[in-house]
Amino acid sequence: MSEKTAIQIDNQVGELLKKNSLSVTGSRKKILQLFLEQPGALAHGDIERKAGEKFDRVTVYRTLQTFVDKGIVHTIPTADNSIRYALCKDECSEGHHHDHHIHFVCSNCNNTYCLDDVVTAEIKLPKGYSAEHVEVVVEGVCKNCN
Amino acid sequence: MSEKTAIQIDNQVGELLKKNSLSVTGSRKKILQLFLEQPGALAHGDIERKAGEKFDRVTVYRTLQTFVDKGIVHTIPTADNSIRYALCKDECSEGHHHDHHIHFVCSNCNNTYCLDDVVTAEIKLPKGYSAEHVEVVVEGVCKNCN
DNA sequence: TTAAAAAAGCAACACTGTTGCAAAAGAAAG
DNA sequence: CTTTCTTTTGCAACAGTGTTGCTTTTTTAA
Ligand SMILES: [Mn+2]
Ligand SMILES: [Mn+2]
Ligand SMILES: [Zn+2]
Ligand SMILES: [Zn+2]
């Protein structure tokens, strides 16, 4: 599959917003575009740098929070304490994320990837503990840097 | 095994500091005590609240950083982007942490535990990716809250 | 086109973490 | 125990991050 065209991305952006009953505004289109035109995850800072000249810092925060609430993006915790955001797959619905994939942070290029196809073995917890959610973050060297 | 006495903890604190060639100071003793007299992990805020009336905020930051550098404590990333700190096992040496255990965050009491005995299966990454470090954080209900 | 609802921008603020520097405390030696 | 040297602490100032209340602007829907 080749690179997506600007038109294709634009259509996808509109669809995504409508599907989630969100009004179509400049900041939402711009930020969603950023996610769609590249494969990895974005830190808040990245987004602010790329969209922030045009939009207020507060708007970026509120837009991302809206996307998380609606199940359009999900957050990825990292060791350096900076939240990353990545697009959810279609199955995520409002207030209920289904992202059970693991995340990979490249120590070289610092990009973060959702590895959707990696299956993780069930974890046997000690007696008395019950799991609700498991978060796996792998740090290493990515495909492009290897 | 019963609860540790104040004397026991005090001895342990002294030993730990000497073993790592750190001078024995009020803040280091106090903060190390906090870790030793309870099983879970501590957020920076916790420590600041419990030790901060006596010590400056900056001192707490610097003390924790020193402990991390020396391999006395290790950090635990969490979904809410607040770093937790927990005591390392004996094998950790300066600049080289060996904590390959998983971490458990209770969604009820909000305590964080190191689960040293849980073994995690090897993760099969896609071609081209190589792992250096794997971080597993399980969220659920802990032994005390179940 | 208009009215109602939602979002954006702005200012102000709280919280977190960092740095430089002077004062205080600790370690080592005599 | 006292002196000297080294390390740590406290303080002040600051940068970065995220939040809130309120007003203006934009979007939506009738
Ligand atoms: Mn993901
Ligand atoms: Mn641990
Ligand atoms: Zn890379
Ligand atoms: Zn609990």
What CA–CA distance (Å, rounded) separates B51 from B49? 6
What is the pTM assigned to this prediction?
0.85
- Is residue B75 in a domain? yes
Residues A23-32: b if buried by 16+ CB within 10 A, e if exposed: eeeebbbbbb
- Is residue B10 in a domain? yes
Question: Which residue, among B81, B85, B121, has the nearest Cα to B100 in the 3D structure?
Answer: B121
> CA A1, C1' D29: Å apart?
39
A79 interfacial to chain B (CB closer than 8 Å):
yes
Q: Write down the residue that tokens 């065209």 correspond to.
A: A5
A137 interfacial to chain B (CB closer than 8 Å):
yes
What integer pLDDT is reported at residue A2 of this predicted model?
Answer: 56
- Contacts of residue B119 in chain A, CB cutoff 8 Å? 124
Yes or no, beta carbons of A140 and B128 under 8 Å apart:
no
> CA B50, C1' C22: Å apart?
27
How many domains would you assign to chain A? Answer: 1
Tokens at A77, concatenated: 């915790």
Yes or no, beta carbons of A81 and B79 under 8 Å apart:
no
> Which segments of A69-129 are extended strands (E)?
73-76, 84-87, 102-106, 112-115
Residues A40-61: b if buried by 16+ CB within 10 A, e if exposed: bbbbbebbbebbbeebeeebbe
What integer pLDDT is reported at residue A98 of this predicted model?
Answer: 61
CATH number of the domain where residue A92 is located: 1.10.10.10
- Is residue A73 in a domain? yes
CB A36 within 8 A of CB A50: no
- Is residue B145 in a domain? no
What integer pLDDT is reported at residue B119 of this predicted model?
Answer: 80
- Is residue A145 in a domain? no
| Half-sphere exposure in the Cβ direction for A63 (13 Å, CA) | 25
**pLDDT tens digits in sequence order for chain B, 146 residues long:** 557 788 888 889 999 999 999 999 999 999 999 999 998 999 999 999 998 788 999 999 999 999 999 999 999 888 777 889 999 876 555 556 666 789 999 999 889 999 988 888 888 999 999 999 899 999 999 999 98
Provide the shortest C-alpha distance from residue B56 to chain A (in Å): 23
Report which residue is nearest nucleotide C18 when distances run from CA to C1': B58
- Is residue B146 in a domain? no
CB B86 within 8 A of CB B76: yes
> CA A20, C1' C16: Å apart?
34
- Is residue B108 in a domain? yes
Q: Which of B130, B142, B144 to mutate to test the interface with A (most CBs of A within 10 A)?
A: B130
What integer pLDDT is reported at residue A17 of this predicted model?
Answer: 95
What integer pLDDT is reported at residue A88 of this predicted model?
Answer: 85
In which residue ranges of chain A is pLDDT below 70? 1-2, 52, 90-99
Structural domain span for residue B134: 3-140
- Contacts of residue B141 in chain A, CB cutoff 8 Å? 129-130, 132
- Is residue B119 in a domain? yes
What integer pLDDT is reported at residue A53 of this predicted model?
Answer: 79
Q: Which residue of A has its CA nearest to B74?
A: A79
